[in-house]
Amino acid sequence: MVVFILVNVTRVGWLLLFDSVLWGVIVVSAVMPWLAMGRLNIRRRVIGWNGDESLPGPEEGEPVKFGFDLRNESWLPLVFANVDYMIGGDLPAEAHRRMFVAWLGSGGTAASTPSAIYPTRGLHELDRVEVQTSVPFGLFRRKKRFEDSDEVLVMPKLYPVEPIQVSGLQAQSESIVQKTRSGGQVVGSRMYLPGDPWRQIHWRNTARVGQPQLKEFESDSQRTFTICFDAGA
């Protein structure tokens, strides 16, 4: 405004040129951020971890590798943009990540593969994805925030356990064996009763006793054990 007044008063040509350039810079700085940021698509996912990948998620305390993709679905390129996103982790500084995009043409994808470590188990929510640009001169800024959140399931840490030696288990199991007419192991015989199946006749004991003897089997369903773990040991 001051330059415009001076131009009208002094009628100096270079001031008129400077005023035109200044207004041009302001207009371009106000319009370009809106044109440079069109329709964007964000994708954030877990790529893998160092532990057992057969588990539904990483274990606590191990590095997790992420994949972060920014796709430009607009017909104009995305220029000089900063992308701020969260992936969590053990330190607040590591939870916040930033990716700079100098040029991303229409239909192009900018990718990043950061890593993080989660010290605690449970379901961790990942939010806060912001894309902002102040192209070309930094006078005006446009920001776009994505409210969609992602989740990472962190499993408890698994520790190897040595084979357990239980003393007296065999003797105790033999003392509580329950007998039945069907099973996998013969444990004895009894007198044959009318209605018993002939295919289960114990012929050797029948010959020894002189009367029909029927096989008795150990009931696998009744063989139960209780193992107690001392987690504080």
CATH value at residue 78: 2.60.40.10
Q: Is it the case that residue 176 has pLDDT exceeding 80?
A: no
pTM over 0.75: no
pLDDT digits (tens, 9 = 90+) for 110-133: 999 998 888 888 888 887 899 999
Same domain, 103 and 207: no
Tell me how far apart the alpha carbons of residues 190 and 206 are, in angstroms, rounded to a whole number: 10
In angstroms, what CA-CA distances link 19 with 24, 33, 137? 9, 22, 17
- Residue 172 tokens read as 């105790």
Same domain, 146 and 188: no
Yes or no: say if 123 and 153 are a contact pair by the CB < 8 Å rule: yes
pLDDT at residue 6 in the model = 52
Chain position carrying tokens 């996103």 = 85
Same domain, 137 and 181: no
Number of domains in the chain: 2
Same domain, 150 and 196: no
Tell me how far apart the alpha carbons of residues 158 and 51 are, in angstroms, rounded to a whole number: 10
The answer to whether position 145 is within a domain reads yes
Same domain, 183 and 77: no
Same domain, 36 and 129: yes
The answer to whether position 103 is within a domain reads yes
Same domain, 119 and 186: no
Same domain, 31 and 120: yes
Residue 121: which domain range?
20-154
**How many CA atoms does the CB half-sphere of 59 hold within 13 Å?**
11
The answer to whether position 105 is within a domain reads yes
Same domain, 215 and 142: no
pLDDT at residue 50 in the model = 86
Same domain, 33 and 122: yes
| The one-letter amino acid at 182 | S
The answer to whether position 97 is within a domain reads yes
Task: Please report the DSSP string for 88-152 in residue order.
Answer: --SSHHHHEEEEEEEEE-TT-EEEE--EEE--S-EEEEE--EEEEE-TTTSSS-EEEEE---EEE
Tell me how far apart the alpha carbons of residues 145 and 229 are, in angstroms, rounded to a whole number: 49
